[in-house]
Structure 1
């Protein structure tokens, strides 16, 4: 996030590129000239992940797409993971945009699918680090798991406390946010925080001569995004509920992180 708007925006459940083209032309944001990274995934529902970026802040150098393959499950189809590498205000940064498999059929029964997705994200990141051990990497998206679930905490190994992150590891700031009772989606009075932005070791620490993680926020305070009454009061305002059109944005709140770097003066 910058004073001139987000430098990078990751999105999930995108139907097609046309939706994104319409979005970046919206009167409220068209002045930012957001560019699109999009790829048609093999997902059975026809939904994809994508990334928008402000070309004045981020310059794309390389894009790769990675398909999640589940052994002995040949018919399985889900969203590809998209890795975008480039220069954020001149610094090398890679962003892996995700939408991990859902909990359809039950959390426990489907857990192995999200663990496999976490393994793929880690493999992509490790491949980037093999080329440049100092690369700053961000994993973002709807992970369909909470920060404490095995996919995030064990397979990816993302830590709750920044001071516990070792070289090659990951910091998940959303763990504490969820502990504080704040989430991005809710069901029967229980909050979850599936929409996460996780940073690698190279984005942690106090040396701010280069970009470092600063803070995070659930984007839940914008008028029109929140249900104001009824048994879903405080929940994200959905587009539909029980077949009724509610004119809402989403059943998930967006999340954002802020990176900070010292301003170099002459």
Structure 2
């Protein structure tokens, strides 16, 4: 692996790598990704939630046309994440800012993804605006064994009224026979300021840690991916103090967590931008068993931010920022205000 000489051979839906070490070794690779798809809402007014505040519902004309284009743009991006290595669309992808199960089904059924036969896991969250998280997976590669949603109960520090936010989604299943666990997150926003809103994300991190601890109590060697839009950077207290995520693989102990995104952040890279500053709110973290050198089962190979040029603004005050779908009260024909992130896992083929 250290020589980094990879020769890819496409076999149907997977790619097999030859790695020149003491002898040639062959690996298969899959992409596991996360994408905040920025207000993927339908055009139907749901009176049980505040979806009328979504950008598409605020538009007076061409809602259906905009929705169809928005879905198509999201599907195009998803179809390309990690494909330069895996030669495939993501085996598994977590999503944030989806309104309901139907919009995820529409995404999975877009022409760019339909032939991959994606399955969907989704639960309605109590979020006031109706924003949910979801998971899409290729049925030929991943088989869910159990799914559950975990409610985050937080309260306003002044009124003591409950703040309704997104659940955390846990999906356990087999990736080509290997048991893995995926947690999809969308932690509370920084509305009201970072400092004032920090306790909400710390609470979200504590819930995430409880889920991870419960899995590791059953199996200390559980392969866990926790992913999402955390509304915090890799160096914030929620990630560093609560999850205790490490930047360097060598520092990860049994039951510990590795955060490959921290190195990107230290290099000045981000997944979203605001007021001339980059943040890396979108992260995928993994547990130690995914770092082992025995590639008889899937292990971590590399991580990335999918920030292709077509996903960025080319001019104006937001030049270089992610090219979002909605701005100034209209549809830009863009993509999202976040870049997707991903990890590649590989397994030796004997």
- Fold shared, TM-score > 0.5 on shorter chain: yes
Further displaced range: 201-210 or 6-15: 201-210
Partner of 1:77: 164
1:245 is aligned, of 286, 306, 331, to 331
2:232 is aligned, of 141, 145, 149, to 145
Partner of 1:61: 145
Structure 1 CA distance for aligned equivalents of residues 273 and 238 of structure 2: 20
Find the residue that maps to 1:120 and give its secondary structure: helix
Structure 2 CA distance for aligned equivalents of residues 245 and 32 of structure 1: 28
How far the C-alpha of 1:240 sits from its partner, in A, is 1.8
Q: Which has the higher helix share?
A: 2
1:217 is aligned, of 301, 304, 317, to 304
2:197 is aligned, of 107, 110, 119, to 110
Question: Is 2:96 the counterpart of 1:9?
Answer: no
Structure 1 CA distance for aligned equivalents of residues 253 and 201 of structure 2: 24
Provide closer, same or farther for how the CA distance between residues 127 and 74 of structure 1 changes in structure 2, counting only shifts above 3 A.
farther
Partner of 2:175: 88
Find the residue that maps to 2:90 and give its secondary structure: coil
Question: Is 2:221 the counterpart of 1:134?
Answer: yes
The alignment covers a number of residue pairs equal to: 263
Structure 1 CA distance for aligned equivalents of residues 330 and 107 of structure 2: 24
Instruction: Output the aligned Cα RMSD.
Output: 1.3
Structure 1 CA distance for aligned equivalents of residues 229 and 189 of structure 2: 9
Structure 2 CA distance for aligned equivalents of residues 76 and 255 of structure 1: 28
Structure 1 CA distance for aligned equivalents of residues 256 and 116 of structure 2: 33
Higher radius of gyration, 1 or 2: 2
Partner of 1:32: 116
How far the C-alpha of 1:201 sits from its partner, in A, is 1.1
Structure 2 CA distance for aligned equivalents of residues 215 and 182 of structure 1: 16
Question: Is 2:110 the counterpart of 1:23?
Answer: no
Gaps of 5+ in 2: 1-30, 32-85
Find the residue that maps to 1:139 and give its secondary structure: strand
How far the C-alpha of 1:238 sits from its partner, in A, is 1.0
Which of structure 1's runs of 4+ aligned residues deviate more than 6 A? Answer: none
Partner of 1:175: 262
How far the C-alpha of 1:35 sits from its partner, in A, is 0.5
Structure 1 CA distance for aligned equivalents of residues 190 and 284 of structure 2: 20
How far the C-alpha of 1:74 sits from its partner, in A, is 4.3
Compare relative contact order (CA 8 Å, sep 6+) and give the higher one, 1 or 2: 2
After TM superposition, the score normalised by the length of structure 2 is 0.73
Partner of 1:125: 212
How far the C-alpha of 1:222 sits from its partner, in A, is 5.2
How far the C-alpha of 1:70 sits from its partner, in A, is 2.5
Gaps of 5+ in 1: none
